[in-house]
Homo-oligomer: A and B are copies of this chain.
Amino acid sequence: MEYETPQFFRVIQYAASADRDVVDMVSGSPDWNPPDSLREGLHEYADADPGDFQYPPSVGLRELREELATRRGVDPQQIIVTNGTGEANHLAMAGGLDAMPGEEIILTDPVYPYYAGRANHLGAETTFVPVTEDGHADPDAITEAASEDTAVIVVNSPNNPMGVTYSADTIERLVRVAENNDALLVSDEVYDHFDYAGRFESALAVDSDHRIVTNAFSKSMAITGWRVGYAVFPDPDGPNGNLLDEARTRHMLTNVTGSRPPQAAVLHALRHTDPDYYEGVRDLLRERIAAFTDALDAVDAEYTEPEGAFYVMARFPGFSGTFESVERLIDEAGVAGMPGEAFGEARADWIRFSLTTDRVETAADRLVEFFG
């Protein structure tokens, strides 16, 4: 499986050059507004003194780390602020592969392609464990797959591309698999604010020296281009305390530090954003989910019940999940999704639709017309 270059671009370009109007349900970039307080924070920063424009600490602005530590119930020392979840996952995966005895990275199938691309680039062996029929990570199958050769297990809940939220029991079992094999669980929780079932549980709830939690404000504040993320490392005085030291060094020698303007604005927004903002976005997405799944029901499509993130994975009767199928859907139905085969083999017949457009109803109508 070749993941070196994510293939989103191929579909986006095809859709952009189509002869007809196309509803773009490809990318995971929110189309809604950030909190007002985020814009305020950036305006305030733009007028700051020259000293505030210079290097923040390599690990991130102190007050931001303290704010995050309080919210996550950890020590500020355990946190490195990163260039989005992308760098947080890079530090966690590269560091885990170096520090843990094994050489293998276990991923789910389907998988967010960046995890697989990064694992390949790091030279790891990769093992893909198919999700359960209802789209969740399968702790039994992962337990069976894991061995002393396993260095890292990467999971993502709420999940892209499946649109599900793993149970607390699943998360706990995954941490235990990592512990039992002297491996590291990397839990990417970037969609934590998009949990419609109320079941989300952070891996931080499971006390362990064998897990790193990664996150960012890309989705929760609708700013995928701002690149403010973070990773929470195990206790620096515990048996895997070296993971933090190694990641600090890697971060410093790769990026020196993250960008300060967005860190300052995110800090302001964390302090001044009402919970109503997040609830409002969830309500918007619940409406989109309802409109879209009504259409899927109408054409007898199979789909995974959307519980989290903002994706719907669906399979249409007699219609595959290849790039060719997706291109046909663009040309003939005017709806662009991501081919299931871009995420692995287990759901290669499926198509992922991102609910990040205000034209979900139009897309739903078009799919009903096309498949109906």
* A225–B84 alpha-carbon span in the complex (Å): 16
Interface presence of A70 (CB below 8 A): no
* Residues of chain B within 8 A of A34, CB atoms compared: 50, 53
Interface presence of A83 (CB below 8 A): yes
- Determine how close the nearest CB of chain B comes to the CB of A235; give it in whole angstroms: 21
Q: Is the CB of A249 within 8 A of B121?
A: yes
Q: Is the CB of B256 within 8 A of A259?
A: no
Q: Which of A6, A32, A258 has the most B CB atoms < 10 Å from its CB?
A: A258
* Residues of chain B within 8 A of A30, CB atoms compared: 50, 54
The one of B50, B117, B223 that contacts A53, using a Cβ cutoff of 8 Å: B223
Q: How many chain copies does the complex carry?
A: 2
Q: Which of A50, A86, A253 has the most B CB atoms < 10 Å from its CB?
A: A253
Interface presence of A72 (CB below 8 A): no
* Residues of chain B within 8 A of A249, CB atoms compared: 4-5, 117, 121
A260-273, CB under 8 A of B: which get 1 and which 0?
Answer: 11100100000000
A224-268, CB under 8 A of B: which get 1 and which 0?
Answer: 111110000000000000000000011011111111111001000
The one of B86, B253, B261 that contacts A262, using a Cβ cutoff of 8 Å: B261
Q: Is the CB of B90 within 8 A of A224?
A: no
- Determine how close the nearest CB of chain B comes to the CB of A202; give it in whole angstroms: 22
* A259–B86 alpha-carbon span in the complex (Å): 12
Would you list which residues of chain A between 1 and 51 have a CB under 8 Å from chain B?
4-6, 27, 29-34, 39, 42-43, 45-47, 50-51
* A252–B222 alpha-carbon span in the complex (Å): 20
Interface presence of A118 (CB below 8 A): yes
Chain A to chain B: the 8 pairs with minimum beta-carbon distance, closest first:
A86-B256, A225-B260, A29-B54, A259-B259, A42-B46, A227-B259, A53-B223, A83-B255
* Residues of chain B within 8 A of A104, CB atoms compared: none
* Residues of chain B within 8 A of A224, CB atoms compared: 53-55
* Residues of chain B within 8 A of A109, CB atoms compared: none
Interface presence of A56 (CB below 8 A): yes
- Determine how close the nearest CB of chain B comes to the CB of A39; give it in whole angstroms: 5
* A6–B257 alpha-carbon span in the complex (Å): 13
* A233–B90 alpha-carbon span in the complex (Å): 24
Q: Which of A45, A53, A118 has the most B CB atoms < 10 Å from its CB?
A: A53
Q: Is the CB of A225 within 8 A of B114?
A: no
Q: Is the CB of A256 within 8 A of B114?
A: yes
* A338–B308 alpha-carbon span in the complex (Å): 52
6 residue pairs A–B, Cβ–Cβ below 8 Å: A86-B255, A114-B253, A225-B257, A226-B259, A227-B255, A259-B261
